[in-house]
């Protein structure tokens, strides 16, 4: 089990398989504690404190259980994407088993994770049949999987890189690009659980695909390099779309998509 997957499980105390049962127990106990009318102010204060404690505990358990369900659903959607298969609401509900009433929240968060981390949009194409397809985000036509059936879609990183270039003006110095990607745990020469070896991907694969230009800065001594948008990026998306994507990513706040993503990848690989 990976370290990040363990970190996700550590958020859940007790384990998620029992998380929602514990929530129900806490809520029942809370109601029982709050129902008797106390004759003294000290008893009332104590009851209020216990009630608040139960509420906080129930909410923490509920969030942990939903996080685990999101990881399961993301791993299922990744499998469907790699197989180039559509999916249905009924199939996704079956993943949640006894907790199908959580589907709206779990599906929304799983869809955001697919888009922002993996660069894959979950699109409903038949509202009557609740049929969904999975396609690369922002109209991009290459997902960076390079024909490897066991690799992961990498468009999420490409869109972020295109956004870093936009924010830098016409081009972004290589050192600034790696500085920005380092915040995400993406470093040159270090294998990433989704993106593989990023230097090879960024300076060669996406350059060959036409999404990026990687060139030496004129008259630089010692030699420095910069990244620019390639012709294929200009043809398939726009700077405004990329910036809107970055804004959504930046607004996610405390949701730990990287941790969720590694658990989902681990789940998907175990089920392959």
User: What are the residue ranges spanned by the domains of the chain?
Assistant: 59-136, 154-252
For residue range 156-195, list pLDDT tens digits in order. 999 999 999 998 887 899 999 999 999 888 999 899 888 8
For residue range 108-155, list pLDDT tens digits in order. 989 988 988 899 999 999 999 999 999 999 989 887 665 555 678 899
Mean pLDDT of 238-266: 66
For residue range 3-44, list pLDDT tens digits in order. 333 333 333 333 333 443 443 444 444 445 444 444 455 555
Give the residue, 265 or 203, on which the prediction is more confident. Answer: 203
CATH architecture of 59-136: Orthogonal Bundle (1.10)
Question: In this model, does residue 239 exceed pLDDT 70?
Answer: yes
Sheet containing 172-173: give its strands across. 172-173, 225-229, 212-216
Q: Comparing 59-136 with 154-252, is the CATH topology the same?
A: yes
Q: Which CATH number is 154-252 given?
A: 1.10.10.1210
Mean predicted lDDT score pLDDT of the chain: 76
User: What is the rounded CA–CA span in Å between residue 159 and residue 152?
Assistant: 15
For residue range 214-227, list pLDDT tens digits in order. 999 988 888 999 99
pTM of the full predicted structure?
0.69
Question: In this model, does residue 65 exceed pLDDT 50?
Answer: yes
User: What is the rounded CA–CA span in Å between residue 10 and residue 1?
Assistant: 13
Sheet containing 131-136: give its strands across. 87-88, 131-136, 120-126
Q: What is the pLDDT of residue 14?
A: 33
Q: What is the pLDDT of residue 116?
A: 86
């Amino acid at each position: 089990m990976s370290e990040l997957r363990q970190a996700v499980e550590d958020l859940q105390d007790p384990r998620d398989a029992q998380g929602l049962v514990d929530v129900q127990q806490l809520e029942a106990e809370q109601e029982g504690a709050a129902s008797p009318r106390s004759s003294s102010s000290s008893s009332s204060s104590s009851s209020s404190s216990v009630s608040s404690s139960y509420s906080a505990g129930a909410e923490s358990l509920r969030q942990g259980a939903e996080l685990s369900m999101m990881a399961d659903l993301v791993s299922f959607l990744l499998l469907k994407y790699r197989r180039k298969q559509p999916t249905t609401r009924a199939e996704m509900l079956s993943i949640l088993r006894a907790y199908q009433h959580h589907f709206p929240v779990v599906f929304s968060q799983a869809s955001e994770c697919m888009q922002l981390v993996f660069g894959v949009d979950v699109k409903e194409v038949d509202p009557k049949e609740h049929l969904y397809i999975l396609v690369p985000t922002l109209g991009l036509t290459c997902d960076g999987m390079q024909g490897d059936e066991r690799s992961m879609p990498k468009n999420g990183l490409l869109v972020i890189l295109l956004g870093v270039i936009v924010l830098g003006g016409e081009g972004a110095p290589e050192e600034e690009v790696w500085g920005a990607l380092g915040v995400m745990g993406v470093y040159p020469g270090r294998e990433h659980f989704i993106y593989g070896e990023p230097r090879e991907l960024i300076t060669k694969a996406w350059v060959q695909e036409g999404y990026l230009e990687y060139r030496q800065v004129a008259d630089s001594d010692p030699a420095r390099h910069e990244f620019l948008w390639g012709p294929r990026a200009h043809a398939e998306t726009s700077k405004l779309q990329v910036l809107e994507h970055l804004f959504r990513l930046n607004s996610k706040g405390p949701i730990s998509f990287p941790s969720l993503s590694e658990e989902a990848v681990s789940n998907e690989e175990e089920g392959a």
